[in-house]
Amino acid sequence: MKPNPKLAELDPEIANALDGESRRQESTLTLIASENHTYREVLETSGSVLTDKYAEGYPSRRYYAGQRFYDEIETLAIERARKCFRAEHANVQPLSGSPMNQAVYFGLLEPGDTILAMDLTHGGHLTHGAPASHMGRIFNFVRYRTRGNRGDIDFDEVRKLAHQESPKMVLCGHSSYPRELDYAAFKRIADEIGAITVADVSHIGGLIAGNALENPLDHGFDLLTTTTHKTLRGPRGGLIACKNEFAQKIDKSVFPGLQGGPHMHQVAGIAVAIRKADTPEFRRYSEQVLLNARVLAESLKAHGVPLITGGTENHLLVLDVAQYVGADGATIQDRLEAAGLICNKQLIPDDSRPAGRPSGVRLGTPAVTTRGMREPEMRRIAALVCRVLDNQAPQAVSQEVVDLARRFPVVH
Residues noted as catalytic: 54, 56, 200, 227, 230, 236
Give the separation between CA 322 and CA 304, rounded to whole angstroms.
13
For residue 344, give the 3-state DSSP assignment: strand
Beta bridge partners of 115: 141, 169
Residue 181 neighbours by CB under 8 Å, 6+ apart: 153, 172, 173, 174, 199, 214, 216
Residue 11 neighbours by CB under 8 Å, 6+ apart: none
- CB environment 34-50: b (16+ within 10 A), e (fewer): bebbbbeebeebbeeeb
* CB 348 within 8 Å of CB 308: yes
Handedness of CA 151, 36, 264, 216 (dihedral sign): negative
* CB 79 within 8 Å of CB 104: no
* CB 97 within 8 Å of CB 244: no
Which run of H or E residues covers position 82?
helix 68-85
Report the 3 state secondary structure along 34-73: CCCCCCHHHHHHHCCHHHHCCCCEECCEECCCCCHHHHHH
* CB 377 within 8 Å of CB 408: yes
For residue 144, count CB atoms less than 10 angstroms from its CB and return exposed for 0-12, middle for 13-18, buried for 19 or more: buried
